[in-house]
């Protein structure tokens, strides 16, 4: 039921971390994957990784903060599956956060999801083909953490946006869901988690471990494929129980 043969998928933010991994997972399930981000060299590495496992991936330049770039990247092809994964996290105390940082996070993490969802859904509607949109939010969109006000607000917005779009687009057979990862180890954050602060954080996760990227494979495929055909407007947390940590 999670076979994606014949499906076309777009993964934003596929030049590193979770997005690169998601591209590999979707390709391994049979999808033809378009990988999108700003850094062409890093995207080429993702394409090579997918090809090395026998899959098909094509790169496309995309800046989710730029409407023209989104139109160019999303207008050419109709996708069955869209993984809105591109995102940034700028941390720091709210009292000291420059408005520019606030705006950058909201523009990338929330407005960027809206732009890509709108552009890709327009094609799905025009071609009457339906589809599945998976918006990568975070457990920080469901509960808060210190010094992440803009990120938390943006990700909470992604959760609510996913529900609003699910409601509007169900009539077009488009499903929209939010995937809310907890703390997942990636090449960019593994040094932090190896240190004292990172280890203290891990002790607060009920399962006492970080998530690995592979922990997201099942939930991703569930939402992206026909296995989740009756699921829309949901927010699935994948967090080792972090959201239910003891008060």
Ligand X SMILES: NC(=O)c1ccc[n+]([C@@H]2O[C@H](COP(=O)([O-])OP(=O)(O)OC[C@H]3O[C@@H](n4cnc5c(N)ncnc54)[C@H](OP(=O)(O)O)[C@@H]3O)[C@@H](O)[C@H]2O)c1
Site for ligand X in 140-169 (CB under 6 A): none
- Determine, following the binding rule CB under 6 A, whether residue 87 of this chain makes contact with ligand X: yes
Torsion of CA 183, 189, 195, 200, to 10 degrees: -10
Among 2, 28, 30, 38, the residue binding ligand X under the rule CB under 6 A is 38
The radius of gyration of the chain from alpha carbons, rounded to an integer in Å, stands at 17
Among 31, 83, 124, 136, the residue binding ligand X under the rule CB under 6 A is 136
- Determine, following the binding rule CB under 6 A, whether residue 181 of this chain makes contact with ligand X: yes
What angle, 0 to 180 degrees and rounded to 10, lies between the N-to-C axes of helices 17-28 and 217-224?
A: 60
Give the CA distances from residue 144 to residues 133, 138, 243, in Å, rounded to whole numbers and listed in that order.
25, 10, 10
Q: Any idea which residues carry the catalytic annotation?
A: 151
Among 4, 19, 156, 162, the residue binding ligand X under the rule CB under 6 A is 19
For residue 65, the minimal CB distance to ligand X (Å) is 5
| Integer Cα distance of 155 and 161 in angstroms | 9
| Integer Cα distance of 108 and 106 in angstroms | 6
For residue 143, the minimal CB distance to ligand X (Å) is 12
| Integer Cα distance of 187 and 207 in angstroms | 21
Give the CA distances from residue 49 to residues 53, 56, 160, in Å, rounded to whole numbers and listed in that order.
7, 10, 34
- Region near ligand X per CB under 6 A, out of 47-55, 163-171, 177-185, 228-236: 177-185
Phi, psi (rounded to 5 degrees) for 9 = -125, 145
Site for ligand X in 96-115 (CB under 6 A): 108
Among 24, 120, 138, 177, the residue binding ligand X under the rule CB under 6 A is 138
Among 9, 26, 184, 205, the residue binding ligand X under the rule CB under 6 A is 184
Q: Which residues bind ligand X (CB under 6 A)?
A: 12-13, 15-19, 37-39, 42, 62-65, 85-89, 108, 136, 138, 181, 183-184, 186, 188-189
């Amino acid at each position: 039921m999670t076979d994606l043969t014949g499906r076309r998928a777009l993964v934003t933010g596929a030049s590193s971390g979770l997005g690169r991994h998601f591209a590999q997972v979707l390709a391994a399930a049979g999808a033809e994957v378009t990988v999108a981000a700003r850094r062409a060299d890093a995207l080429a590495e993702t394409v090579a990784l997918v090809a090395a496992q026998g899959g098909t991936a094509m790169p496309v330049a995309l800046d989710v903060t730029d409407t023209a770039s989104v139109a160019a990247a999303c207008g050419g092809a109709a996708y069955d599956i869209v993984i809105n994964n591109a995102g940034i996290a700028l941390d720091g105390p709210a009292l000291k956060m420059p408005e520019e940082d606030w705006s950058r996070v909201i523009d990338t993490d929330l407005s960027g999801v809206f732009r890509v969802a709108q552009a890709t859904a327009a094609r799905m509607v025009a071609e009457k083909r339906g589809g599945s949109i998976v918006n990568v939010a975070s457990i920080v969109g469901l509960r808060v953490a210190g010094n992440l006000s803009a990120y938390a607000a943006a990700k909470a917005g992604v959760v609510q946006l996913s529900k609003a779009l699910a409601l509007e687009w169900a009539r077009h057979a488009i499903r929209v869901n939010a995937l809310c990862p907890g703390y997942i180890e990636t090449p960019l954050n593994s040094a932090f988690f190896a240190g004292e602060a990172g280890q203290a954080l891990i002790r607060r996760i009920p399962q006492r471990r970080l998530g690995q990227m592979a922990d997201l494979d099942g939930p991703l495929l569930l939402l992206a494929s026909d296995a989740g055909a009756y699921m829309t407007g949901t927010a699935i947390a994948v967090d080792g129980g972090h959201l239910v940590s003891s008060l």
